[in-house]
Amino acid sequence: MAEFKIPKPLPLPSEDSKPYWDSCQRQELLIQRCDDCGYYWLPPSILCPRCMSTNFQRVKASGKAKIFTWEVTHQALYPAFDTPFHVAIVELEEGPRMHTNIVGCKNEDLYVDMPVELFFEKVEDQDWYLPKFKPVES
Amino acid sequence: MADSLKDKACIVGIGETEYSKNSGRSEMRLALEAIKAACEDAGISPKELDGIVRFSVDSNQVDEIARNFGIENLRFFPEVFFGGGAGCGIVQMAAMAVALGKAKYVACFRALNERSGFRYGQMASAMPMAGHFQYSIPFGLMAPGSMVAVMAIRHIHLYGTKTTDLGEVAVAFRRHANMNPKAMMHDRPLTLEDHANARMIAYPLRLFDYCQETDGAAALIVTSPERAKDLKQKPVYIMAAEQGTGSWIEMMTSYQRENIADLEEYTRLAPHLWKEAGIGPEDIDCAQFYDAFTPLVIMQLESFGFCKFGEGGPFVRDGALQIDGRLPCNTSGGCLSEAYIHGVNQIVEGVRQIRGTSPVQVPDCKHVLVTAGSGIPTGALILRSP
């Protein structure tokens, strides 16, 4: 008998976040850059959070980042992920931060400022790609 | 125009249900019991209430409460958003209404079956993820404790805070709960060894870094100093009441802001709070910090100026937060060890301290700081004796 697995929670894109998630499905990470003040930001929004300009481009992130912080969940009320699992907040080279998982790294090897690089990973049993990171090979 | 809220309103009644893991009754019944008890404590009838302030997350609507009590002329009925962040904001709302003559007697309450009903962190019913949670939950950051754990890692990284410092917070508040017959953890002592050896929930947080999950309700009655003179209890004056936010606001996940080891909401509202009260941290006899998780207490000590940024860990060592320590905190046991009524039980305890009726009484307690939920738009109060 096949083991029943609880599906992983997926994003529900809004009209304003759809371009971001669509870019992820094409396996590129688009961040917003203000035409007027040059500011880069995430998560997606309508106005530049610094100068309120509506003039912006969605530009491809370099994919270079470092771990800003992290945690390891050992006990979860909602059993979609096999424990223990971690979540990391990484800071992109361009400045914005994002939630992710570091693939190919043991939980106990995570550390603040660890250099990591972007890739895309398909969600198990779902037609969805999420932006993930892996340690930079030295 | 009034230029300050200072001393323009008082808390004159407090009411609570018992605190348990399974109340066996509806959240509406809990709310009515707590509000009725608070009215009885004040010496008024619930029918005299002309204001009710609710948490937006509370399941109980004001109209149904008013119908149950047969209230016919409610004049003031706002709500405050952002989960536990509403705790002190509901009292600020009530105090402003009373100060401006928009209501005579205002009830503030929170009622929840958080343990036997919907438990925070149980995300299944909210799928798929909309709003800002669409950027966090798909990667597994699902529970409030995990959302605080990433902030604790930053605090440890920047300042060298130790997990034994978290243990000091848990042990101090548990000691108070052991002296408080109403506390859920009344009969359960806790040592630093117990804290260090408890099971890991979200590294670096272990079991006793987490608050209780509770079924219950708590309520307060706010009125003017003039009306308070005719009531049963010694009035507790609201010296200052503030709400505030930080930058890049998200519910629990404001991680774009420069420093997430600083609870920016409190850091920004604290100067307004101290200015309105006309006192400083050195004048506070005891504090009731919102303590859903132990690291939040260490961060609040810094944000409110009890110590410098980064020194919250050393501050709490050697029992400093205990009843006989240099700053007794969370004297009922707090969310960690008394009950999780979204911090409203801690306002009730602040009132008891000023009245001199706490089972864990701070001698000669004149000024109490109470804070609301952390990592979200929030609030704080300073209470004083008449």
Cα B333 versus chain centre, distance = 12
Strands B367-371 and B286-288: parallel
Question: Which residue in A9, A69, A100 is closest to B137 by CB distance?
Answer: A9
Residue in chain B lying closest to A103 (CA) = B139
Q: Does the structure show a pLDDT above 80 at A2? A: no
Taking the CA of residue B110 and the nearest CA in chain A, the distance in Å comes to 24
Under DSSP, is residue B68 helix (H, G, I), strand (E, B) or coil?
A: helix
Instruction: Burial-class residue B198 by CB neighbours within 10 Å (0-12, 13-18, 19+).
Output: middle
Residue B36 domain-assigned? yes
**Residue B16, pLDDT score:** 98
pLDDT digits (tens, 9 = 90+) for A26-45: 999 999 999 999 999 999 99
Residue B336 domain-assigned? yes
User: Is-catalytic flag, B266?
Assistant: no
Chain A partners within 8 Å of B204 (Cβ): 71
B66 inside 8 A of chain A by CB: no
Residue B173 domain-assigned? no
**Residue B1, pLDDT score:** 46
Contact B239, B382 (CB under 8 A): yes
Residue B148 domain-assigned? no
Give residue ranges of A with CB < 8 Å to any B CB. 6, 8-14, 17, 41-43, 49, 68-78, 80-81, 84-87, 89, 96-101, 107, 112, 123, 130
- C-beta atoms of A71 and B146 within 8 A: yes
Chain B partners within 8 Å of A75 (Cβ): 199-202
Contact A119, A132 (CB under 8 A): yes
Q: Does the structure show a pLDDT above 90 at A137? A: no
Chain B partners within 8 Å of A69 (Cβ): 150-151, 153-154, 157, 255, 260
A48 vs B11: CA distance, rounded Å: 44
Chain A partners within 8 Å of B161 (Cβ): none
**Residue B126, pLDDT score:** 53
- C-beta atoms of B203 and A72 within 8 A: yes
Question: Which residue in B128, B136, B140 is closest to A10 by CB distance?
Answer: B128
- C-beta atoms of B139 and A99 within 8 A: yes
Residue B205 domain-assigned? no
Q: Is the omega angle on the peptide bond into residue B359 within 30 degrees of 0, that is, cis?
A: no
B236 vs B213: CA distance, rounded Å: 29
Domain spans, chain A: 14-60, 62-138
Minimal CA–CA distance to B296: which of B194, B175, B145? B145
B204 inside 8 A of chain A by CB: yes
Count of H-run helices and E-run strands, chain B = 12, 11
Contact A87, B150 (CB under 8 A): yes
Neighbour-count burial for A14-23, b at 16+ CB within 10 Å, e otherwise? eeebeebbeb
Tokens of residue A135, six digits:
């340690």
Reduced DSSP (H G I as helix, E B as strand, rest coil) percent helix, strand, coil of chain A, to 5: 10, 35, 55
pLDDT digits (tens, 9 = 90+) for A44-95: 999 999 999 999 999 999 999 999 999 999 998 888 899 999 999 999 999 9
| Residue segments in chain B with a per-residue pLDDT below the cut of 70 | 1-2, 123-128
Tokens of residue B210, six digits:
């987490």
Q: Which domain holds residue B356?
A: 10-117+211-384
**Residue A134, pLDDT score:** 98
User: Is-catalytic flag, B135?
Assistant: no
Question: Which residue in A9, A98, A107 is closest to B127 by CB distance?
Answer: A9
**Residue B116, pLDDT score:** 94
- Percent of chain A surpassing pLDDT 70: 96
**Residue B124, pLDDT score:** 54
Contact B90, B108 (CB under 8 A): yes
Q: DSSP character for B237?
A: E
The number of folded domains in chain B is: 1
Minimal CA–CA distance to B84: which of B382, B369, B377? B377
Place of tokens 């300009």: A53
Rounded average pLDDT over A104-120:
97
**φ/ψ of residue B112, rounded to 5:** -155, 145
Minimal CA–CA distance to B19: which of B219, B186, B180, B214? B214
Chain A partners within 8 Å of B135 (Cβ): 11, 42-43, 98-99
- What's the CATH fold of domain A62-138? OB fold (Dihydrolipoamide Acetyltransferase, E2P) (2.40.50)
Question: Which residue in B127, B153, B202 is closest to A69 by CB distance?
Answer: B153
Residue B155 domain-assigned? no
- Amino acid (one-letter) located at A66: K
| CATH code for the domain in which residue B85 is found | 3.40.47.10
- String of DSSP letters for B282-346: GG-SEEE---SBHHHHHHHHHHTTSS-TT-HHHHHGGGTTSTTSSS-B-TT-HHHHT--STTHHH
**Residue B293, pLDDT score:** 98
- Amino acid (one-letter) located at B207: L
B253 vs B154: CA distance, rounded Å: 14
- C-beta atoms of A77 and B121 within 8 A: yes
